[in-house]
Amino acid sequence: MKQKLVILITILSIFLLSACGTQNDNDGDKASENKKTANLYEQIKEKGEITIGTEGTYAPFTYHDENDKLTGFDIEIAREVFKRLDIEPKFIEAKWDGMIAGLDAKRYDMVANEVAIRPDRLEKYDMSDPYIVSKAVLVVHEDNDEIKSLEDLKGKKVGQSLDSNYRKIAEDHGATNTVVEGFNQAIDLLVSGRIDGTINDSLSYLDLKKQRPDLPVKTVYEEENATSNGFLFRKGSDELVEAVNGALADMKEDGTYLKISEKWFGTDVSK
């Protein structure tokens, strides 16, 4: 009996030690991961390079010019920010619907792509101070006299990106969404009559009409309150966000931001 008791105690001791070891390993892994996140800015500074996810197809914020060079308002703001931080930005292009997933998967360190600052995003991610504000507009075919407001979208077809803030607005008003890869595709579907409308940024619409003035489309609604947009980071990127915010503040103070804003939009888009 004593021998069996000794064996049982020995087995229990081994089990408890093993469990403690596993817990310690898990705690160690979590601590290591948190340390990596906390030191992200230091790692970036040491490397001298930051990777930035962007769409590359969303004019005038991030797109390719006639020489196939990546450019746009967001691109230029990001380049200026990291020039001041003595860090080289490396842009990695991705479709919008997979862009935030790419950030989660650590394909890049941040996203610069006209990302709306929303409470649900702030729960999971860090975001910079706003660097541009804009209003959503509802775009329809120029011959459409049926849709005049968001309320008229009930039962209609719209074209929005899957993770777009505008998709939620449209669906909240009863619209059925056709997933598109970007604003240009939505406009093509609208012109061909395959959808009834699309919601997007007012600045994007103005740029579209400037580039393609003959498009048979019009706006029938503009939201009253502006949406603030910022750079997106993984949660825990506090030091990096602080550095970016400092650079943005300096750009606004010394007039560099206004110069870039007027170049792209002819006005100050921070207000």
Rounded-to-10 torsion of CA 98, 269, 256, 211: 70
How large a percentage of the chain has pLDDT more than 90?
75
Task: Check whether residue 115 and residue 167 sit in a common domain.
Answer: no
Segment 110-115 mean pLDDT: 96
pLDDT of 41: 96
Q: How does residue 207 score in pLDDT terms, banded at 50, 70 and 90?
A: confident
Segment 45-68 mean pLDDT: 96
pTM value is 0.75
Look at the chain and report how many structural domains it folds into: 2
Q: How does residue 27 score in pLDDT terms, banded at 50, 70 and 90?
A: low
Cα–Cα dist 178/162, whole Å: 9
Burial of 136 (0-12, 13-18, 19+ CB in 10 A): buried
pLDDT higher than threshold 70 for residue 9: no
Task: Check whether residue 159 and residue 173 sit in a common domain.
Answer: yes
Task: Check whether residue 174 and residue 153 sit in a common domain.
Answer: yes
Task: Check whether residue 125 and residue 156 sit in a common domain.
Answer: no
pLDDT of 249: 98
Task: Check whether residue 142 and residue 126 sit in a common domain.
Answer: no
DSSP string, 89-148: EEEEE--HHHHHHHHHTTSSSEEEEEEE--HHHHHHEEEPPPSEEE-EEEEEETT--S--
How large a percentage of the chain has pLDDT more than 70?
86
Position 233, amino acid: F
Q: Comparing 37-41, 44-48, 60-64, 133-137, which segment has the lowest mean pLDDT?
A: 37-41
Q: Does residue 169 fall inside a structural domain?
A: yes
Strand 136-141, strand 217-222: pairing: antiparallel
Per-chain mean pLDDT for the chain: 89
Q: Does residue 14 fall inside a structural domain?
A: no
Q: Residue 194 maps to which CATH number?
A: 3.40.190.10
For residue 117, the enclosing domain spans 40-133+227-265
Task: Check whether residue 174 and residue 257 sit in a common domain.
Answer: no
pLDDT of 252: 97
Task: Check whether residue 104 and residue 176 sit in a common domain.
Answer: no
Task: Check whether residue 117 and residue 141 sit in a common domain.
Answer: no
Q: Comparing 25-34, 67-76, 134-143, 248-257, which segment has the lowest mean pLDDT?
A: 25-34
pLDDT higher than threshold 60 for residue 37: no
Angle between helices 183-191 and 202-211 (to 10 degrees): 60
Cα–Cα dist 64/72, whole Å: 8
pLDDT of 3: 53
pLDDT of 214: 94
